[in-house]
């Protein structure tokens, strides 16, 4: 379940980055409504964890997916988009 949450957030981050505020708006406006925050993993915790382990990079208020994050995203894509 956490994999789907991470995947739904990562797929909203374009190659040229996105501000945290824009990312929050994108999640709220996501037509599929796939990302539902829960008590065990908040939006802030998800970002902080992925920044700390090197999947995301934060420059000022903009988030970028790192090479490590892109590899992880591809792995999640194969898991989360299975029929």
Q: What is the CATH number of the domain that holds 30?
A: 1.10.10
What total of structural domains would you count in the chain?
1
Structural domain includes residue 25: yes
**Domain span at 63:** 2-72
* Distant-in-sequence, close-in-space partners of 30: CB < 8 Å, separation ≥ 6: 8, 12
pLDDT at position 19: 97
> In whole angstroms, what is the distance from residue 79 CA to residue 74 CA?
9
* Residue 35 and residue 9 in contact, taking contact as beta carbons nearer than 8 Å: yes
Structural domain includes residue 15: yes
Structural domain includes residue 68: yes
> In whole angstroms, what is the distance from residue 9 CA to residue 47 CA?
9
pLDDT at position 13: 95
Q: The tokens 């190659």 sit on which residue? A: 15
Structural domain includes residue 77: no
Structural domain includes residue 23: yes
pLDDT at position 41: 72
Structural domain includes residue 50: yes
pLDDT tens column, 26-83: 877 655 555 555 556 778 888 999 999 999 999 999 999 999 999 999 999 998 888 7
pLDDT at position 55: 97
Instruction: Identify the helix (H) or strand (E) that includes residue 18.
Output: strand 18-19
pTM over 0.75: yes
């Amino acid at each position: 379940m956490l994999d789907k949450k991470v995947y739904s957030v990562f797929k909203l981050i374009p190659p040229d980055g996105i501000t945290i505020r824009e990312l929050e708006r994108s999640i709220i406006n996501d037509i599929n409504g796939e990302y539902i925050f829960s008590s065990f993993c908040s939006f802030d915790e998800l970002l902080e964890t992925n920044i700390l382990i090197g999947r995301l990079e934060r420059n000022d208020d903009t988030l970028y997916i790192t090479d490590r994050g892109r590899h992880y995203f591809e792995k999640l894509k194969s898991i989360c988009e299975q029929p």
